[in-house]
Amino acid sequence: MLKTAMHYSHELLREIVTTGDHVVDATMGNGNDTLFLAQLVGVSGKVDAFDIQKSALLATQEKLARHPEQVAVNLHLAGHENAATYLQGKKIKAAIFNLGYLPKSDKQIITLPETTKKALTALLEHLLPQGRIILVCYYGHPGGKAELDALKSYCNDLPQERYNVLAYQFINQKNNPPLLLCIEAK
Ligand code: SAM
């Protein structure tokens, strides 16, 4: 069966991320992607995870505590647009964004086109060759369509000499099925 955007995002990460890699979770939320990445990179790797909500950081901390072997995670209560400050020139193998709002939380706190694009530009500078940045775009909420359009346009403009960009979406589903975008550095 074809994979959902969320499952396919993990497959795209699993294909390239290995033990010892440095990776980024740009939208920590409840920490599902943070834990997944931590398990891929192992104790010798590193995950930098970002969110602007304290509740997200606490939920992720709690999730990681149930997996004490996952020690290589740095949780930042900071916007992903500031990622470069924390990466300090280090190269990354992958990053993932899950856009929109945190389910069962304040629906007013959403990712925004300008900060998402700023974060992408910064992270692309740190991306290793064959590294991938994945965006899972949810856009059914107010403001979501504007962010989706801005990111499609951003990705359309990336030079094909430097990047491959994939779009993955179920096009016959109701209720705004998420769009997955994957940018791969050449
Ligand atoms: N990946 C998460 C998970 O596994 O549970 C779900 C992420 S949720 C769809 C989007 C998250 O992005 C929210 O927790 C929200 O607080 C966060 N967010 C919004 N603006 C942000 C920003 N500028 N930088 C980092 N995170 C942000």
The CATH number assigned to the domain holding 140 equals 3.40.50.150
Measured between alpha carbons, how far is 33 from 29 in angstroms, rounded to an integer?
9
Residues 54-79: tens digit of each pLDDT: 999 999 999 999 987 767 899 999 99
Backbone angles phi, psi at 111, to 5 degrees: -70, 150
27 within ligand 1 shell (Cβ under 6 A):
yes
Q: Which atom of ligand 1 is nearest to the CA of 26?
A: 25
**Are 13 and 96 within 8 A, CB to CB?**
yes
ipTM for the predicted complex comes to 0.97
Domain count for the chain: 1
Domain that residue 81 falls in? 5-185
**Are 99 and 136 within 8 A, CB to CB?**
yes
Judged by DSSP in three states, 136 sits in strand
Q: Whose CA is nearest to atom 22 of ligand 1?
A: 79
Measured between alpha carbons, how far is 69 from 50 in angstroms, rounded to an integer?
20
Residues 161-181: tens digit of each pLDDT: 999 999 999 999 999 999 999
